[in-house]
Chains A and B, each alone.
Chain A
Amino acid sequence: MIEFHLDPRSGVAPYLQIVQQVHQALLLGLLSEGDQLPTVKQVVATVAINPNTVLKAYRELERDGLAAAKPGVGTFITRSLGQASLAEQAPLRDELEEWLKRARAAALSDPGIQALFHRALRESAERDT
Chain B
Amino acid sequence: MTAIIQARQLAKRYGQRAALSNCTLSVPSGRVVGLVGPNGAGKSTLLKLACGMLAPSSGTITVLGHRPGAGSAQISRVAFVAQDAPVYPALSIADHLKLGARLNPRWNQAYATARIADLHLDPAQRAGRLSGGQRAQLALTLATGKQPDLLILDEPVASLDPLARRDFLRQLMQDVAEHGTSVVLSSHLISDLELVCDHLIVLSASHVRLTGDVERLTATHHRITCARRDPATLPAGLHVIAAEHTDRQSTFIVHSDTPPPKGDWAIDPVGLEELVLTYMEHDRGRDPGPGGDSAAADQDSADQGSEVAR
A residues near B, CB below 8 A?
6, 8, 11, 13-14, 40-41, 44-53, 119, 126
A51 to chain B: which residues have CB within 8 Å? 173, 176-177
B174 to chain A: which residues have CB within 8 Å? 41, 44-45
- Cα A52 to Cα B32 in complex, Å, equals 9
- Cα A45 to Cα B173 in complex, Å, equals 7
Contact indicator B178/A50 (Cβ below 8 Å): no
Majority SS at the chain A contact face:
helix
Q: List 7 A-B contacts (CB under 8 A).
A: A14-B195, A44-B174, A48-B196, A49-B173, A49-B196, A51-B177, A126-B259
Q: How many A-B residue pairs have CB under 8 A?
A: 49
How many residues does chain B have at the interface if contact means C-beta atoms less than 8 Å apart? Answer: 21
A41 to chain B: which residues have CB within 8 Å? 174, 177-178
A119 to chain B: which residues have CB within 8 Å? 266
With A8-B195, A11-B271, A53-B195 known as contacts, the answer to whether A48 contacts B177 (CB < 8 A) is no
- Cα A45 to Cα B172 in complex, Å, equals 9
A53 to chain B: which residues have CB within 8 Å? 195, 198
- Cα A46 to Cα B174 in complex, Å, equals 10
A50 to chain B: which residues have CB within 8 Å? 32, 173, 176, 195-198
Contact indicator B259/A44 (Cβ below 8 Å): no
Partner of A44, one of B177, B194, B271: B177
Min CB gap B82→A, angstroms: 22
Min CB gap B39→A, angstroms: 22
Contact indicator A48/B169 (Cβ below 8 Å): yes
Interface residues of B in 114-171 (CB under 8 A from A): 166, 169-170
